[in-house]
């Protein structure tokens, strides 16, 4: 009883938040899955339970397969690109240099701006016009004599989504740099020194001491970039709107809800996005909490 | 005698090697600096385009002058953009200021309890909170729309919950609980348990301890959370596009409408994009340190 008097006030203080998370996160995720299993394909119908019919049926729609393919290309290019560039920047800055703060601030500032605002300028930069009508980067290529680099950017049939990943890389690689820089700096200098005394070359020190210690940071970065990528929406809408040429599940869902007025279809797409994110976020959360408890 | 000679012989090549190492290190530093500077130029290119284009009069809209500085600098695009964007900016202020303050208050209380006034099962609650940080909001959007429009009907307040700023604030506050709680919890963990225990022994209850011991040292955590939430709310597009209507559109939605219209010249679009970014850029420049800490907390350092 006295013990309970000790912790009860705490529980009461957090209770509103617990209730809010229970309803708005878990309740609504459940509600969404429930809706995805009905035939409520317009806003007035009753919504009969149809099981997994929507989940299997959606694969027959060409637009869905296209958007899934796009999401995969976008994710691979974006996650790979941001990880590599962020790592490179951190690697180059790791040993310290004059004006480091300024460099860091410049690489990181895109994080503070909305994708919608940066979408405006990237749509201009990646304008698909070539030759006389070229603006943006195509015009720049023309000016410096690299015309052969001109292409249709995000309007390219096959690799448009790779172009779409460029602004995302620009926006997020500073963040990855900051993560890696913290990782690099977390490697104790004595450890490196000890390896050097033992006759290791710089490369070997990096390969066998630093790199293994960067693994947790790399995993964090991978998870963060991955889940941002799978729900990518703002940037794509800002750069190209709802065109099929750059469709991804998140945009398709928006179209399903507001243009097709099909709640069940929207809920199905949303459920797929949730599943895709959960598959790697849940193991990650379990892993990092276990690690925290151990230390 | 021979030993000294040997030592001398050995030292000579090693000094040579030392010099070579110094030279190589200087070279490496130079190369690093050059590569980093190239990336600075790349990163700032979009800013150059935004600024330069936003000051160009319509007569200089020709593609051939795309990368050139304006011959005549004009504020006209900025003036038009401001007229078009102003209602959205006002909506964003009404959204981001109360939203970030409420989020910080909630996060502080949650973080305090989950680190210093724990109840049985607190770890489970915290874990369940954390998952809320990673969920794609698409997964809750349709039920959220249905719930908020239900609340409109229930209360008879048309355009408040669904289609209004209060509903949008509610959504951001609720889905902001996980990250705000995490930041405060990780911050409060560093307060020594003895301090809390001492207050307890003195007979201070939970709220007294919070007010007199915890709150006075919470400044930095509040700064981090308020900045984080302000930036997130100001830049949000997804919730806004699903939950608001023409009268309550925040900056991002209005900007997207301006930019999406084929008839709006680039100069106005870019001026509008800059206008929309000024508040968060100012925060970033002045308080970047706290912004960084929020980012790192988002990485779940634990």
**Whole-number pLDDT of residue A57:** 93
Q: What would the two tokens of residue B140 be?
A: 């809750």
Interface of A with B in 22-41 (CB under 8 A): 24-29, 31-32, 35
% chain B with pLDDT above 90: 57
pLDDT in tens, A137-195: 888 888 888 877 888 888 888 888 999 999 999 999 999 999 999 888 888 888 888 88
Number of C-beta neighbours around residue A97 at 10 A:
13
- The number of distinct structural domains making up chain B is 2
Inform me whether the pLDDT recorded for A269 exceeds 90: yes
| Mutation choice for A interface testing from B136, B161, B211 by most A CBs within 10 A | B136
| Statement to judge: residues B162 and B281 lie in one domain | yes
**What is the nearest CA distance from B147 to chain A, expressed in angstroms?**
9
Q: Would B25 be classed as within a structural domain?
A: yes
Confidence at residue B5, expressed as pLDDT on a 0 to 100 scale: 45
Examine the pLDDT at B167 and tell me if it is beyond 70.
yes
Tokens of residue A69, six digits? 């393919």
- Name the more confident of B4 and B105: B105
Which band of pLDDT confidence, cut at 50, 70 and 90, is reported for residue B278? Answer: very high
Let me know the angle formed at the C-alpha of B60 by A163 and B53, rounded to the nearest 5 degrees: 45
CA atoms within 13 A on the CB side of A189: 2
Write out residues 75-94 of A within 8 Å (CB-CB) of B. 89, 92-93
Residues A2-49 pLDDT 10s: 677 778 888 999 999 999 999 999 999 999 999 999 998 887 788 889
pLDDT band at B14 (very low <50, low <70, confident <90, very high): low
pLDDT of residue B158: 82
| Structure token digits, residue A44 | 């007035």
Cβ contacts of B127 on chain A, cutoff 8 Å:
285, 289
Q: In this structure, are B43 and B166 located in the same domain?
A: no
How many domains is chain A built from?
1
Strand, helix or coil for residue B191: coil
Q: Pick A294 or B184 by higher pLDDT.
A: B184
pLDDT of residue B97: 96
Is residue A224 within 8 Å of residue A178, measured between CB atoms?
no
Question: Distance between CA A258 and CA B245 in Å, rounded?
Answer: 13
Do both B122 and B250 map to the same domain?
yes
CATH number for the domain that contains residue A72: 1.10.3720.10
Contacts of A113 in chain B (CB under 8 A): 235, 277, 280-281
B48 and B84 fall within a common domain = no
Per residue in B76-105, pLDDT (tens digit) is 999 999 999 999 999 999 999 999 999 999
For residue B171, being part of any structural domain is answered with yes
Nearest CA to B167 out of B112, B244, B114 is that of B244
Residues A18, A27: Cα–Cα separation, whole Å = 12
- CATH number assigned to the domain comprising residue B177: 1.10.3720.10
Q: Which domain holds residue A29?
A: 17-294
């Amino acid at each position: 009883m006295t013990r309970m008097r000790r912790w009860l006030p705490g529980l009461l203080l957090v209770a509103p938040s617990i209730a809010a998370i229970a309803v708005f996160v878990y309740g609504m995720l459940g509600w969404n899955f429930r809706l995805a299993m009905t035939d409520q394909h317009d806003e007035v119908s009753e919504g009969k339970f149809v099981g997994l019919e929507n989940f299997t049926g959606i694969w027959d729609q060409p637009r869905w397969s296209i958007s899934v393919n796009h999401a995969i290309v976008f994710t691979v290019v974006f996650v790979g690109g941001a990880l590599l560039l962020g790592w490179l920047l951190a690697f180059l800055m790791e040993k310290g240099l004059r004006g480091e703060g300024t460099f860091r601030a410049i690489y990181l500032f895109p994080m503070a701006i909305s994708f919608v605002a940066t979408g405006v300028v990237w749509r201009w930069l990646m304008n698909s016009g070539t030759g006389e009508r070229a603006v943006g980067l195509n015009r720049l290529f023309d000016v410096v004599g690299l015309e052969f680099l001109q292409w249709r950017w995000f309007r390219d049939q096959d690799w448009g989504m790779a172009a779409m990943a460029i602004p995302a890389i620009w926006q997020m690689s500073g963040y990855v740099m900051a993560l890696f820089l913290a990782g690099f700096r977390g490697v104790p200098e004595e450890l490196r020194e000890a390896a050097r005394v033992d006759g290791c070359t710089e490369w070997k020190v990096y390969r066998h001491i630093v790199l293994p210690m960067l693994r947790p940071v790399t995993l964090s970065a991978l998870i963060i970039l991955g889940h941002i990528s799978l729900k990518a929406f703002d940037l794509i809408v800002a750069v190209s709107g709802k065109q099929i040429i750059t469709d991804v599940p998140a945009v398709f869902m928006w179209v399903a809800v507001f243009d097709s007025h099909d709640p069940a279809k929207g809920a199905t797409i949303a459920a797929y996005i949730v599943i895709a994110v959960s598959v790697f976020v849940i193991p990650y959360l379990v892993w990092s909490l276990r690690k925290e408890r151990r230390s | 005698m021979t030993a000294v000679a040997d030592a001398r012989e050995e030292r000579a090549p090693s000094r040579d090697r030392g010099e070579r190492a110094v030279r190589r290190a200087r070279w490496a530093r130079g190369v690093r600096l050059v590569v980093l500077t190239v990336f600075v130029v790349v990163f700032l290119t979009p800013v150059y385009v935004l600024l330069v284009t936003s000051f160009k009069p319509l007569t200089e809209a020709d593609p051939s002058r795309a990368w050139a500085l304006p011959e005549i600098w004009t504020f006209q695009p900025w003036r038009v953009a401001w007229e078009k964007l102003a209602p959205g900016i006002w909506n964003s202020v009404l959204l981001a200021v109360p939203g970030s303050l409420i989020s910080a208050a909630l996060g502080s209380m949650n973080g305090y309890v989950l680190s210093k006034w724990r109840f049985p099962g607190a770890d489970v609650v915290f874990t369940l909170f954390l998952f809320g940080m990673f969920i794609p909001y698409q997964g809750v959007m349709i039920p959220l729309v249905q719930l908020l429009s239900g609340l409109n009907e229930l209360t008879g307040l048309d355009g408040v919950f669904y289609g209004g700023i209060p509903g949008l604030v509610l959504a951001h506050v609720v889905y902001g609980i996980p990250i705000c709680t995490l930041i405060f919890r990780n911050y409060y963990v560093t307060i020594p348990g003895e301090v809390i225990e001492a207050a307890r022994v003195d007979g201070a209850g939970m709220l007294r301890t919070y007010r007199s011991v915890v709150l006075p040292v919470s400044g930095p955590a509040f700064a981090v959370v308020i900045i984080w939430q302000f930036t997130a709310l100001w830049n949000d597009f997804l919730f806004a596009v699903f939950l608001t209507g023409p009268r309550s559109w925040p900056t991002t939605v209005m900007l997207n409408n301006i930019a999406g219209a084929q008839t709006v010249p680039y100069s106005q679009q870019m001026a509008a994009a800059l206008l929309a970014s000024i508040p968060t850029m100012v925060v970033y420049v002045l308080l970047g340190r706290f912004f960084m800490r929020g980012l790192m907390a988002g990485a779940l350092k634990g």
